[in-house]
Amino acid sequence: MSWQMLEDPLLQFVALVLLSAAARLIYGRDPTFRLAANLVFFALLTTLLVEHDIAPYTSDMGDADDLLRRIFVGIAKSVWWIGGAMVLASTVRLFLIFERKPREARLLQDLVVGIIYLGAALSVVAYVFSVPVGTLIATSGVFAIVLGLALQSTLNDVFSGVALNLGRHYSVGDWIVLEDGVQGRVVETNWRSTHLLNGTNDLIIVPNSALAKARLTNLTSPEEAHGISLKIRVVPSIAPAAIEETMRTVLLSSNAILKSPAPVVSVTGLDSTAIEFELSFRVSGLGEATAARNEIYDLVYRHAKAAGLQLASPAGSPAVPVADPLEEAGKHPNSAWRLLNAIPLFSTLTEDEKESLAADMKRLTFRKDALIATQDTSLTSLMIVRRGVAVVERKEGNEIIELARIAPGDLFGERGVLMGALEPANIRALTSVVVYEISKNHLATIMQERPALAEELGLLLSRRIEAEKHHFSAGVSAEASHPTTLTTRIRHLFQIPHGTWQ
């Protein structure tokens, strides 16, 4: 009797359903497991139905007098069709995961899965309830027309969303700009709308129908690299070719822009008040655009000051009188003094202290490609770039790693002067370079009188060490590179007294 109960198709069906539900609870919602579980369940259920002469693809419900049998057959057929639909749906979802674009294709995925389940539902209606599907569709036509008219706007968004997904004009993660100025990064696309996250982190919801009609620009496709152009106006005090060369040096000294493709400088205008230049370059992604613009503007200012150039007023505005460089040079003929005065690090020094420091500074000139400092050697002077561009390059085996580029106003050598440490890389001149050298002894005298200078130098060295860690192991622990720790070591090495910072 127990054996007959085990062979009962109803008990076998109930046991199969319970085992399938338990497996889903135990192993969670992993897509691969869901597909495997659906396949196994569908195969076992098919075997069960075939062994008991139940054909799910026919309308035969068995003996009309056996009500329990008819109910079981109806439920088993319905579950079989739904199980088959689940296998197909799981296959579609897993395929899109293998494509590594499950979010971008969400709308298309939902559409395909919906068609699969609609087919399964119609099959249940035809083979379980024996209702002619053709007649059902024909009688529901009027209702479908009324519903379509009522949901015209919604359906417009739905089909526009399908068209946008099939066209793949953008995907999740792309930054797009619409013709009305609305822009943002695509974070989601669904049946009704596309969600954008703008630069101020606000969510913008654009209906798919409006997006399908709009002219849009995809800033991150076909590649992430983004192009930027800046307008710079300079007073025409020297030949345009010489100013153009200065602008090229600006782009050459940038750390934020891509070196390939090479940035371009174009002369776009010339009149009696200004020469207008366009600086065009690319950055690795839209997120780096702001930082790159800020750096380029800062470098334009520094290189213009170093070359004795004056920035012009905007086009159409009255010219603003600017101090004559020759007159300024007459007040302070020492170029070293003017360099110190332009560097925030020495802003706390008095005029007399700057004059004294400038008088002790030594001017050094390096031709293009000359080696300014050698890797694994210790510099004994603090170096300040007056003009030109240098590159910091570390050699590791046969590979050369570029760490940074140095522009007018930048300092180097503080590692050896302050800590007696070795330079982690070569410093090579990319153009003709002029630097001013401050001896260690004179710097020590200044720091004795201005202890705040030691704190600023410690902060500068800490930032440089942290930046170098992204490229290679600098061999300095996080604690040792902390600004407070470095300042303490500097004060100890130079015997700077503890007390109130000046």
Going by C-alpha positions, the residue among 417, 356, 409 that lies closest to residue 382 is 417
- Is pLDDT larger for residue 145 or for residue 465? 465
Q: What is the pLDDT of residue 11?
A: 78
* pLDDT of res. 434: 93
pLDDT for res 479: 41
Tokens describing residue 28: 């969670």
Out of 3.30.70.100, 3.40.50.300, 3.20.20.140, 3.40.50.12500, which CATH number does the structure's domain 226-307 have? 3.30.70.100
Tell me the two tokens of residue 454: 């030691």
pLDDT at 4: 47
Is the model more confident about 156 or about 263? Answer: 263
Q: For 316, left (φ over 0), alpha (ψ -120 to 50), or beta?
A: left
Question: What pLDDT sits at residue 27?
Answer: 65
Longest dimension (CA), the chain: 118
Question: Is the per-residue pLDDT at 476 higher than 60?
Answer: no
Is the pLDDT confidence value at 452 over 80? no
Is the confidence at residue 460, as pLDDT, over 80? no
Mean pLDDT lowest among 211-225, 341-355, 425-439, 468-482: 468-482
Q: What is the pLDDT of residue 5?
A: 44
- DSSP-assigned states of every residue in 105-154: THHHHHHHHHHHHHHHHHHHHHHTS---HHHHHHHTHHHHHHHHHHTHHH
What sign does the dihedral 333-442-482-469 (CA atoms) show? positive
Tokens 């493709």 correspond to: 261
Confidence of residue 1 (pLDDT cuts 50, 70, 90): very low
- Cα separation, 270 vs 244, whole angstroms: 12
pLDDT at 502: 43
pLDDT band per the 50, 70, 90 thresholds, residue 55: confident
Domain boundaries, the chain: 24-139, 152-218, 226-307, 334-493
Which pLDDT value is given to residue 472?
56
> What is the model's pLDDT at position 501?
42
How confident is the model at residue 81, as a pLDDT?
84
82-86, 157-161, 248-252, 487-491: least confidently modelled range: 487-491
Q: Which has more pLDDT, 475 or 346?
A: 346
Answer whether 164's CB lies under 8 Å from 208's CB.
yes
Q: Which band of pLDDT confidence, cut at 50, 70 and 90, is reported for residue 263?
A: very high
Q: Are strands 362-366 and 433-439 parallel, antiparallel or unpaired?
A: antiparallel
Average pLDDT, the chain: 78
Sorting pLDDT into bands at 50, 70 and 90, what band is 475? very low
CB neighbours of residue 53 within 10 Å: 9
Q: Give residue 200's pLDDT band: very low, low, confident or very high (50, 70, 90).
A: confident
Instruction: Report in angstroms the alpha-carbon separations of 150 from 147, 153, 191, 252.
Output: 5, 8, 17, 62
Identify whether the C-beta of residue 417 lies closer than 8 Å to the C-beta of residue 443: yes
Rounded to whole angstroms, the Cα distance separating 85 from 78 reads: 11
Confidence at residue 493, expressed as pLDDT on a 0 to 100 scale:
57
Identify the helix (H) or strand (E) that includes residue 425: none
**Residue 435 class from Cβ within 10 Å (0-12 exposed, 13-18 middle, 19+ buried)?**
buried
Collapsing DSSP to helix, strand or coil, 299 comes out as helix
Q: For residue 220, is pLDDT > 70? A: yes
Residue 35: strand, helix, or coil: helix
Matching residue, tokens 């197909």: 88
Closest Cα to residue 34, out of 104, 106, 103, 113?
113
Query: What is the distance between the alpha carbons of residues 243 and 249, in angstroms, rounded to a whole number?
Result: 10
What confidence score (pLDDT) does residue 95 get? 65
- Percent of the chain at pLDDT above 70? 76
The alpha carbon dihedral of 453, 454, 456, 460 has a sign of positive
- Identify the residue whose tokens are 């934020």: 256
Radius of gyration of the chain from its Cα atoms, rounded to whole angstroms: 37
> Exposed/middle/buried for 313, CB within 10 Å: 0-12, 13-18, 19+?
middle
pLDDT at 413: 87
Position with higher pLDDT, 267 vs 346: 267
pLDDT higher than threshold 70 for residue 327: no
Q: What is the rounded average pLDDT of the residues 248-272? A: 92
Higher pLDDT residue, 148 or 192? 192
Does 332 score more than 50 pLDDT? Answer: no
Q: Which of these, 384, 324, 335, 327, lies nearest to 359 by C-alpha position?
A: 335
Which CATH number is 152-218 given?
2.30.30.60
Place 308 in a pLDDT band, splitting at 50, 70 and 90.
Answer: confident
pLDDT at 490 over 80: no
CA–CA dist 392, 423 (Å, integer): 10
Report the range of poorest mean pLDDT among 49-53, 97-101, 404-408, 431-435.
97-101
- Among 71-75, 142-146, 369-373, the range with the most confident prediction by mean pLDDT is 369-373
Mean pLDDT confidence for 104-114: 65
Least confident residue range of 41-45, 123-127, 440-444:
123-127
d(CA 157, CA 189) in angstroms, rounded, equals 11
| Per-residue pLDDT tens digits for 30-39 | 767 777 888 8
Rank 93-102, 164-173, 339-348, 367-376 by mean pLDDT and report only the highest. 367-376
For residue 480, the model assigns a pLDDT of 46
Q: What CATH superfamily is the domain 334-493?
A: Jelly Rolls (2.60.120.10)
**Band of residue 104 on the pLDDT scale cut at 50, 70, 90:** very low
- Cα gap 41→125, rounded to integer Å: 22
What is the number of residues in the chain? 502
Q: Is the pLDDT of residue 151 over 60?
A: no
pLDDT band at 133 (very low <50, low <70, confident <90, very high): low
Q: Which residue has the higher pLDDT, 397 or 476?
A: 397
